[in-house]
Chain A
Amino acid sequence: MKLTGWGRYPSFDSTIFAPSTEADTIRLQKGLASFIPRGNGRAYGDAAIGSMSSLCLRGLDRIRSFDAATGRVSVEAGVLLADIIATFLPHGFFPPVVPGTKLVTVGGMIAADVHGKNHHRSGSFGDHVESLRLALPSGEILTCSPSENEELFFATVGGMGLTGTILEATFSLLPVETNWIRQETVVAENLEAALATLAGHDETTYSAAWIDCLATGAALGRSLIYLGEHAVLRAVEALKPGAESKPRLRGAGLPVPFDLPSFALNRVSVAAFNELYFRKGALFAGTPFLNEMDPFFFPLDGLSDWNRIYGKRGFLQHQCVIPAEYAQKTLSEILGRIARRGNASFLAVLKKFGPASKGLLSFPSSGYTLALDLSIDSGVFDFLNEIDRLVVESGGRIYLAKDARQSRATFEAGYPGLARFREIRRQIGAENRLASRLSDRLGI
Chain B
Amino acid sequence: MDTGKSLLVLGGTSDIGRASALRFAKEGVAILLAGRDLDALTREAQDIAARTGVKATAHQIDILEPGAFEAFVNDLPFLPDTILCVIGLLGEQGRAQTDLAHATNILRANFEGPALLLGLFAECFEARGTGVIVGVSSVAGERGRASNYVYGAGKAGFTAFLSGLRNRFGKTKIRVITVKPGFVRTRMTKNMPLPGALTAQPQEVAEAIFRAVAVRPRDVFYVKPVWRVVMTIIKAIPEAIFKRLHI
Shortest C-beta distance, A375 to chain B (Å), equals: 33
Shortest C-beta distance, B16 to chain A (Å), equals: 16
Specify the chain A residue showing the minimal Cβ separation from B53: A68
Q: Mark B42-58, 1 if CB is under 8 A from A, else 0.
A: 01101101110100000
How many Å lie between the Cα of A65 and that of B50 in the bound state?
5
Residues of chain A contacted by B49 (CB below 8 angstroms): 65
Whether the Cβ atoms of B43 and A66 lie closer than 8 Å is no
A424 touches B (CB below 8 Å): no
How many Å lie between the Cα of A65 and that of B40 in the bound state?
15
Of B44, B51, B53, most A-chain CB atoms within 10 Å: B51
Specify the chain A residue showing the minimal Cβ separation from B40: A21
Whether the Cβ atoms of A62 and B47 lie closer than 8 Å is yes
Whether the Cβ atoms of A62 and B46 lie closer than 8 Å is yes
Which among B44, B53, B187 is the interface contact of A62 at CB below 8 angstroms?
B44
Whether the Cβ atoms of B50 and A64 lie closer than 8 Å is yes
Residues of chain A contacted by B43 (CB below 8 angstroms): 21, 62
Interface residues of B in 18-47 (CB under 8 A from A): 40, 43-44, 46-47
Whether the Cβ atoms of B51 and A66 lie closer than 8 Å is yes
Interface residues of B in 111-152 (CB under 8 A from A): none
How many Å lie between the Cα of A20 and that of B44 in the bound state?
12
Whether the Cβ atoms of A63 and B47 lie closer than 8 Å is yes
Whether the Cβ atoms of B40 and A87 lie closer than 8 Å is no
Shortest C-beta distance, B185 to chain A (Å), equals: 14
A73 touches B (CB below 8 Å): yes
Whether the Cβ atoms of A64 and B46 lie closer than 8 Å is yes
Q: Mark A40-63, 1 if CB is under 8 A from B, else 0.
A: 000000000000000000000011
Shortest C-beta distance, B48 to chain A (Å), equals: 9
Which bucket holds chain B's interface residue count? 10 to 19
Specify the chain B residue showing the minimal Cβ separation from A59: B187
Shortest C-beta distance, A102 to chain B (Å), equals: 17
Interface residues of A in 2-25 (CB under 8 A from B): 20-21
Q: Mark A142-172, 1 if CB is under 8 A from B, else 0.
A: 0000000000000000000000000000000
Whether the Cβ atoms of A63 and B40 lie closer than 8 Å is no
Specify the chain A residue showing the minimal Cβ separation from B37: A21
Which among A20, A21, A73 is the interface contact of B50 at CB below 8 angstroms?
A73
Residues of chain B contacted by A21 (CB below 8 angstroms): 40, 43
The A-B contact count (CB < 8 A) is: 25
Shortest C-beta distance, B92 to chain A (Å), equals: 21
Whether the Cβ atoms of B51 and A87 lie closer than 8 Å is yes
How many Å lie between the Cα of A188 and that of B119 in the bound state?
73
Specify the chain B residue showing the minimal Cβ separation from A66: B50
How many Å lie between the Cα of A21 and that of B41 in the bound state?
12
How many Å lie between the Cα of A73 and that of B51 in the bound state?
10
Whether the Cβ atoms of A65 and B51 lie closer than 8 Å is no
Shortest C-beta distance, B84 to chain A (Å), equals: 20
Residues of chain A contacted by B50 (CB below 8 angstroms): 63-66, 73-74
Residues of chain A contacted by B51 (CB below 8 angstroms): 63, 66, 87
Residues of chain B contacted by A65 (CB below 8 angstroms): 46, 49-50
Specify the chain A residue showing the minimal Cβ separation from B187: A20
Whether the Cβ atoms of B47 and A64 lie closer than 8 Å is yes
How many Å lie between the Cα of A265 and that of B83 in the bound state?
56
Specify the chain B residue showing the minimal Cβ separation from A86: B51
How many Å lie between the Cα of A63 and that of B51 in the bound state?
7
Shortest C-beta distance, B153 to chain A (Å), equals: 30
Shortest C-beta distance, A436 to chain B (Å), equals: 26
How many Å lie between the Cα of A64 and that of B50 in the bound state?
7
Interface residues of B in 177-201 (CB under 8 A from A): 187
How many Å lie between the Cα of A62 and that of B49 in the bound state?
11
Interface residues of A in 63-100 (CB under 8 A from B): 63-66, 68, 73-74, 87, 91
How many Å lie between the Cα of A74 and that of B51 in the bound state?
11
Shortest C-beta distance, A357 to chain B (Å), equals: 28
Shortest C-beta distance, B143 to chain A (Å), equals: 33
Shortest C-beta distance, A81 to chain B (Å), equals: 15
How many Å lie between the Cα of A20 and that of B13 in the bound state?
12
How many Å lie between the Cα of A16 and that of B40 in the bound state?
23
Specify the chain B residue showing the minimal Cβ separation from A67: B50
Shortest C-beta distance, B35 to chain A (Å), equals: 14
Residues of chain B contacted by A63 (CB below 8 angstroms): 46-47, 50-51
Shortest C-beta distance, B52 to chain A (Å), equals: 9
How many Å lie between the Cα of A21 and that of B187 in the bound state?
13
Specify the chain A residue showing the minimal Cβ separation from B52: A87
How many Å lie between the Cα of A68 and that of B49 in the bound state?
11
Shortest C-beta distance, B241 to chain A (Å), equals: 41
Of B40, B43, B47, B187, most A-chain CB atoms within 10 Å: B47
Specify the chain B residue showing the minimal Cβ separation from A90: B26
Interface residues of B in 46-96 (CB under 8 A from A): 46-47, 49-51, 53
Shortest C-beta distance, B46 to chain A (Å), equals: 6
How many Å lie between the Cα of A303 and that of B85 in the bound state?
39
How many Å lie between the Cα of A66 and that of B47 in the bound state?
9
Residues of chain A contacted by B44 (CB below 8 angstroms): 62
Shortest C-beta distance, A252 to chain B (Å), equals: 13
How many Å lie between the Cα of A21 and that of B42 in the bound state?
12
Shortest C-beta distance, A133 to chain B (Å), equals: 14
Q: Mark B195-236, 1 if CB is under 8 A from A, else 0.
A: 000000000000000000000000000000000000000000
A and B contact pairs by CB, cutoff 8 A, 13 listed: A20-B187, A62-B46, A62-B47, A63-B51, A64-B47, A64-B50, A65-B49, A65-B50, A66-B50, A66-B53, A73-B50, A87-B51, A91-B53
Given contacts A21-B40, A63-B47, A87-B51, 19 further A-B contacts (CB under 8 A): A20-B187, A21-B43, A62-B43, A62-B44, A62-B47, A63-B46, A63-B50, A64-B46, A64-B47, A64-B50, A65-B46, A65-B49, A65-B50, A66-B50, A66-B51, A68-B53, A73-B50, A74-B50, A91-B53
Complex A-B, nearest 5 residue pairs according to Cβ-Cβ distance, in ascending order: A62-B47, A66-B50, A63-B50, A63-B47, A87-B51
